[in-house]
Amino acid sequence: MATLVLIHPAWFGGWCWRDVVRPLRAAGHEAWAPTLTGFGERAHLASPAITLGTHVEDVISLLEFEDLHEVTLVGNSSGGTVITAVADRCPERIARLVYLDAFLPSDGQSTLDLLPPDRVAALDRLVQSEGDGWRLPRFGPPPWEMILREIWHVTDDDKFRWVLPRLRPAPYGHFTEPVRLTNARAAASIKRVYIRCVNSAPSPFDRAAAVAQASPDWEYRSMQTYHIPFVTNPEDVAQAMLEIVA
């Protein structure tokens, strides 16, 4: 039996892994999908004080209070920044990191640092115009309906109706606070896997995937899906996780 902890990206919540967690548990594995502070059912806790560090503490607290060891820690998109920082803080509890179309920051980098300058400028404007200076209301200038349908290709109507009302603004500190890595030697012993969702448009995830492909220390995989496969192709994500932990 393996232990997997699945970290959602900004705007989502632990709820988004629903159709991945079920087959993992059915196969006999222990699967956790925590919701980071300020998202999902914890959206009422959102505040300007929330940063990346808050979300790192969320995950570390789960690992410690549930006494989880030999964990396969999975992050999608900005969840990749979270799991990078968590692995540096408690490498003794983590067996493997899985970056599912996720950001891969180096020491001193934030998620924003990995985005093109024009994209950062657009997000900054959204925070100021619609987010009271501390919340990022959505992925980009288009409305969520267009983002889900045309960028993330949530074409199934039932899934669209499931996802849309559950999205919440993201505390901007989730994106702006840099990762500080102080335990690189211990963290280096953790196995690493990168999964690129290749149907997505060219993006910063291509750079991260190239790092994994070029290094003998990484396992690289690809999936014929778009960027949020836990919604659009959960069976493929579950199958990939089952193969990885096997």
Whole-angstrom CA distances from 43 to 116, 140, 171, 175 are: 28, 20, 10, 17
User: What are the DSSP calls for 22-80, one per residue?
Assistant: HHHHHTT-EEE-PPPTTSGGGGGG--TT-BHHHHHHHHHHHHHHTT--SEEEEEEETHH
Q: Are the CB atoms for 6 and 20 separated by under 8 Å?
A: yes
Q: With contact defined as beta carbons under 8 Å apart, do 71 and 93 qualify? A: yes
The count of residues in the chain is 246
Distance CA 91, CA 62 (A): 14
Pair of tokens at residue 88: 């540096």
* Helices 79-89 & 52-65 angle (0-180, nearest 10): 60
Place of tokens 């900004």: 10
In sign, the C-alpha dihedral spanning 101, 205, 193, 41 is negative
Paired tokens of 117: 């300058």
Q: Could you count the other beta carbons within 10 Å of the beta carbon of residue 156?
A: 12
Find the catalytic residue in 47, 77, 129, 203: 77
Told to judge if 77 belongs to the known catalytic residues of this protein, a careful annotator would answer: yes
Active-site residues, by number, are 77
